[in-house]
Amino acid sequence: MPNKKNTCRLIFILLGTWLSVGVLAQPTSNSKEEIQKRAQDLLNQIEEVKKSLDITKKNKKETLAQLALIQQKINLRNQLIRNINSQIDDIENDMTTIKLETTQLKNELDTLKQQYTKSIVYAYKNRSNYDMLNFIFSANSFNDALKRVTYLKAYRSYREQQAITIHKTQQKLQEKYTLLNTNRKRKNIVLTDENNQKKELQIEKNEKNNVVTQLQSKEKELVKEIAAREQQRLRLRNKLNTIIKREKEEALKRERDLAKKREEDRKKQEALEKANTTKTSDPKKTNPDVAITKPSKNRTYSVFETTAEGLATSTGFEHNRGKLPWPVSSGIVVGKHGTNNIEGTKLTETNDGIRIETNIGSPVKSVFEGTITGIFDLEGESAICIRHGKYVTAYSNLSSVSVSKGQQIKAGQVIGKVAVGLNGSGELTFMISGDNSRFLNPLDWLRPR
């Protein structure tokens, strides 16, 4: 017959074991969705580059644009492979977590089964109703008897709950096995995709090497193309600098005229106050001059920011750095800002902005609100200059123009259409300049694609 101490001890041990079963942490997806979304974005960009490259190849000759497009495709492919590697790492982390949880579940299941076996053996040995009653009625007091009844009820409840816990733990274990198999299959699929992308990358590298070899054999033609682009660049640069210089001089003249008028008004006001001796001047009366915004210590103010409108436009343009919309809906940058080496040769080409290859006739849109300050012709193709406070954007190589000088325009408004470039494809030159005639890198201002 069980005594009081042994019974209590066993019940407390079993209850403690039951309550100590921890809740397992579920594997988290972290940035799983973001990684997959980025992969799809890269695939879309690669497809867009392919389309542009197919159009360029119709010229039946190797060009700098072809080389730029292939290099862009290689860069995107490398990014995609890195993205796939991130997916593999994510899957392996999940699998490691699941394996640890599976081991923990197995250990818990073994413990539960052992404890359940002990409880069954104990119940079998003490299965007689007489023993139970004897255990209760052998209590020293009524309260002690109630405690023993509570112990027996808890013990019975524990056995029932333990059976349920074992069943649930077995189910969890099976779920982990299923999830582990799913991740293994997923990993195999991703690994296959990685191998396919590496094969495509090698094909693209071979294609690039072929184009480089062909360009090397046509270096004289290449020199002519670069020279023609350099002439275009200088003509456009000089034209823009002339417009900026003229506008700056006009703005300075307006500012001088305004300052002169303010001085004249001030003198008239002083003379009027002296002549008006019959009225007592009010010391609290404020000067009617227009308040001028105090320059910020961290900002160099431009002559184009002397008005509230000009300052608001400038600061609005600055606040959208890295978020400006692209001037064309689709296209690939085939000429980056600055001086760039041409792979496989000792030649270089310089761009004050960026050259975007896109479809012939594509609508060109203003990247920000502003005023059309210049429309001019460059060897049969048009260019547009738009002022945004102290900043200027330029859009060159347009086949047609749909705005006029002095017109106020909004961001996203169509201003013209893309013309044919030197390589036979549609091409737009896009530039950004400050009032100091220093050309900025448009890729720092446009939103990432």
pTM score, two decimals? 0.64
- Whether residue 270 is contained in a domain is answered as no
Higher pLDDT, 17 or 219: 219
Work out the percent of the chain whose per-residue pLDDT is above 90. 25
pLDDT at position 13: 43
Tokens of 240: 């823009």
- Quick one: 118 and 224 in the same domain? no
- Quick one: 138 and 245 in the same domain? no
Q: Is the pLDDT of residue 15 over 70?
A: no
Q: Are 354 and 429 in contact (CB under 8 A)?
A: yes
- Quick one: 212 and 224 in the same domain? no
Q: For residue range 255-271, what is the model confidence (pLDDT) as tens digits? A: 888 878 877 777 778 77
- Quick one: 334 and 192 in the same domain? no
- Quick one: 203 and 344 in the same domain? no
- Please, what is the average pLDDT of the chain? 78
- Quick one: 49 and 193 in the same domain? yes
Query: Residue 425 sits in a domain of what CATH number?
Result: 2.70.70.10
Q: For residue range 154-167, what is the model confidence (pLDDT) as tens digits? A: 666 666 666 677 77
pLDDT at position 152: 59
Euclidean distance between CA atoms 201 and 308, whole angstroms:
53
User: Mean pLDDT over residues 19-44, rounded?
Assistant: 63
Specify whether the backbone of 389 is left (phi greater than 0), alpha (psi in -120 to 50) or beta.
Answer: left
- Whether residue 400 is contained in a domain is answered as yes
Provide the CA 366 distance to its chain's centre, in angstroms: 23
- Whether residue 273 is contained in a domain is answered as no
pLDDT at position 245: 87
Domain span including residue 146: 4-19+29-217
- Quick one: 209 and 227 in the same domain? no
- Quick one: 207 and 75 in the same domain? yes
String of DSSP letters for 353-418: SEEEEE-TT-EEE-SS-EEEEEEEEETTEEEEEEEETTEEEEEEEEEEE---TT-EE-TT-EEEEE
Euclidean distance between CA atoms 18 and 40, whole angstroms:
48
Euclidean distance between CA atoms 250 and 241, whole angstroms:
14
- Quick one: 225 and 358 in the same domain? yes
- Whether residue 65 is contained in a domain is answered as yes
Element (H, E) at 241: helix 219-275
Tally: H helices and E strands in the chain = 7, 12
Q: Are 403 and 387 in contact (CB under 8 A)?
A: no
- Whether residue 91 is contained in a domain is answered as yes
- Quick one: 36 and 130 in the same domain? yes
**The total number of structural domains that make up the chain:** 2
Query: Residue 123 sits in a domain of what CATH number?
Result: 1.10.287
- Quick one: 160 and 224 in the same domain? no
- Quick one: 87 and 209 in the same domain? yes
- Whether residue 369 is contained in a domain is answered as yes
- Whether residue 411 is contained in a domain is answered as yes
Q: For residue range 276-311, what is the model confidence (pLDDT) as tens digits? A: 765 544 444 444 443 344 445 566 678 888 888 889
- Whether residue 284 is contained in a domain is answered as no
Beta-bridge mates of residue 396: 383, 429
